[in-house]
Each structure stands twice: as structure tokens, then as C-alpha cells.
Amino acid sequence: TLMATFAIYKCVISAIVDDVFVKNPTEHLTQGQHILESVLQNLPTATKITKSGEEKPCTTTILCNDQNIHVWHISDPKDVTLTNEQQAPYDADHFPPCYAIFDNREDIGLLAIEKRSDAFSCNPDKLRDILEKLISKEMYQYHLKVELNIKKQVGEFWDIIRENQR
């Protein structure tokens, strides 16, 4: 059996300080993680622009929302061209899913997105961009934004191998 491969992202919450009409733009920053949790509990429908230029909703199935850990099954709406029995091409919608796991526990703030060849063009960064934009849009009213930055191990090759073996 094959093991699933995930891209890991660190969640960074910061204040939007460029609005001159806001007296104290950092006032909600200390509550950022709790505000993020309420957004994750009630995550709006994510959308994606397909290659035809149409905006389509991603179907999200909530598998778990427990103790600040959220597990979702998110589909990638795609336009595909298929052929019927008479070899005539026709357009169809295809919805390959992938898993996304958001760990919003205190001092953790990690997002894991499954890397699948048929979902989001085998590029978890595409789903990360969709989620980052969606979450930041919801947190904007509190003058907060979210960045989901890829986590990479940096170091000497064999040091990383030995660390991973431990």
C-alpha cells in the first residue's frame, strides 16, 4: 500500500496595520488563534477558478472538528474532456478530493495538505492559496490576516536523514 504524501504549512497570524482609519490595528492580535478557530469551525465554501475561467465551489466534507484539529476532504472542481462510445468528445465535471488537516492547537498552527496527482494539479500550494485567501477574508474584519508558509527542513543532507530516522 502507498502512503499518502502531505505538504506541511505553518500558519502565521498577523495584524493588518496599513489602514489609517483604525486606531489600534493590533488589538485583536492576542486573540488571533481563537478568532482563527471560530473561522475554521464555520469555514465558508472555498471556490476555484477552472481553466475555462469559471468560478466553481470546492466540495468540502468535514470529517473532524475536535479540540482545535480540523480534518477536511476537499474536492477540486475540474473541467475534463471525455469521449463517449462513438469517440465524440464531451465536457464533464470531475471532482478529485484530497485531505487537508489543520492543527490549530496552542503554539502549533500547522496545515497539512495531501499531495495527489489528480487533485489541484498535484500541487498542494494551489489549495493552500485558496484556503489562505478564504481564511484571511474572514479575519479581515478583525484587522488580521493569515499566511500559510511552506515548512522545509534546512540543513546538511545526512543530518536531515539521521534526524528523520530518529
Q: What is the pLDDT of residues 24-57, one digit of tens each?
A: 667 777 888 899 999 999 888 888 887 778 888 8
Q: Residue 38 corresponds to which cell in the numbers above?
A: 471560530
The CA-based dihedral angle spanning residues 56, 58, 59, 60, taken in that order and rounded to the nearest 10 degrees? -150
The better pLDDT of the pair 81, 146 is held by: 146
Cβ neighbours, 10 Å, residue 90:
9
pLDDT band at 12 (very low <50, low <70, confident <90, very high): very high
pLDDT score of 122: 82
Q: Does 78 score more than 90 pLDDT?
A: no
- Helix then strand count (H, E) for the chain reads 3, 10
- Report phi then psi at 136, rounded to 5: -60, -35
pLDDT score of 89: 66
Q: For residues 90-106, give the mean pLDDT.
A: 78
pLDDT score of 162: 75
C-alpha distances out from residue 31 to 14, 15, 26, 36, 152, Å: 11, 11, 10, 9, 27
pTM of the model: 0.78
